Amino acid sequence: MMKKNKILALSVALVLSLSACGTSAPNSSSSGSAGAGEITEVTVGVVGSNNEQWDTVNEILAKDNIQVKLVEFSEYKLPNAALDSGEIDLNAFQHKAYLEKEIADLGYDISVLGDTILAPLSLYSNYITDIQQLKEGDKIAVPSDPTNEGRCFKILESAGVLEVDPAAGYVPEIKDITSNPLNLEFVEVEAANTASLLPDVAAAFVNGAHAVDNGLKLEDAVYTEQVEAGSDNPYINIIACSTEDLDNEVYQKVLAAYQSEEDAQAILDIYQGAYIPAWN
């Protein structure tokens, strides 16, 4: 549910606090239109500081007196907890596979409101320029959350570096690696910290948002995940909401603004291929 004049209780986890302003957005049973001159504020949890596409979203929403206010979290594990507890209205930081894992593990009553972007996961290095240059015993930094770590193993498998048990599906764990000829060692850290380990490891997988945050360019990657947009792709990023709010008219307007042609072009212009609009 939307909150009025509420400061988030998770202040220790936030690098951006909410200011106490705006009016409460209507729930799904109301008309979804704000009064004349009143601004309906929708709080959206994000991870990472590169979210310029939301400026275009707010420009589109201005005609409806709706304003998105971003709430920036430092770790992936926090925005779903905040959404499930009602501290924020929506979040937009995760792909479908991550949300499905969180729901299975933590029982969140959260659903996909709509698709946003596809952010190919890439391997970066200060020491090699081709994935085939990896050598015996090299260390590779990987995100510690299960879905993104498993995604890294699948990418390494596609590059012919290792093999994983197909029964593990999209989220294999270290124990599911069936062949590791180079005896690669995996350094598991929070996704936001893999880039900082580049001086200390042979290579590191860096998620799209964190790659942008750290000035890493897609063309400099040692290897990039080969993916295509599509409804069955588990790595398409999403806007998520409480399940009871799926039909909320204000939230639907936020989704429509995000999935507009204007915002698609903004994403392409701003991120130069690091993010790809996934709904068209």
pLDDT at 116: 97
Contact, 140 vs 187, CB < 8 A? yes
CATH H-level, domain 11-119+232-277: superfamily:
Periplasmic binding protein-like II (3.40.190.10)
| pLDDT tens digit sequence for 167-186 | 998 889 999 999 999 999 99
Candidates 3.60.10.10, 3.40.120.10, 3.40.190.10, 3.40.50.1110; CATH matching 122-224: 3.40.190.10
CA dist 111 and 242 (Å) reads: 6
Q: Do domains 11-119+232-277 and 122-224 have the same CATH topology?
A: yes
For residue 94, give both structure tokens.
């995760």
Provide the β-strand partners of residue 236.
118
d(CA 40, CA 43): 10
DSSP-derived secondary structure for the chain: ---SS---S-GGGBSSPPPS-SBPPP-TTS---PPTT--EEEEEEEESS--THHHHHHHHHGGGTEEEEEEEESSTTTHHHHHHTTSSSEE---BHHHHHHHHHHH---EEEEEEEEE---EEE-SS-SSGGG--TT-EEEEESSHHHHHHHHHHHHHTTS-EE-GGGTT---GGGEEE-TT--EEEEE-GGGTGGGTTTSSEEEE-HHHHHHTT--GGG-SEE------TT-TTEEEEEEEGGGTT-HHHHHHHHHHTSHHHHHHHHHHHTTSSEE---
In this prediction, residue 208 carries a pLDDT of 80
CA-based nearest residue to 236, from 104, 122, 92: 92
Confidence (pLDDT) at 230: 60
Number of CB atoms found within 10 A of residue 70's CB = 16
- Asked if 275 contacts 213 with a C-beta cutoff of 8 angstroms, the reply is no
User: What tokens does 169 get?
Assistant: 């599906």
Q: pLDDT in tens for each of the 280 residues of the chain? A: 444 333 333 433 343 333 333 344 444 333 344 455 799 999 999 998 889 999 999 999 999 999 999 999 989 999 999 999 999 999 999 999 999 999 999 999 999 999 999 888 999 999 999 999 999 999 999 999 888 999 999 999 999 999 999 999 888 999 999 999 999 999 999 999 999 999 999 999 998 878 888 889 888 999 998 766 565 788 899 999 999 999 999 999 999 999 999 999 999 999 887 888 999 7
Tens-place pLDDT, residues 61-88: 999 999 999 999 989 999 999 999 999 9
Domain residue extents for the chain = 11-119+232-277, 122-224
The per-residue pLDDT for 48 is 82
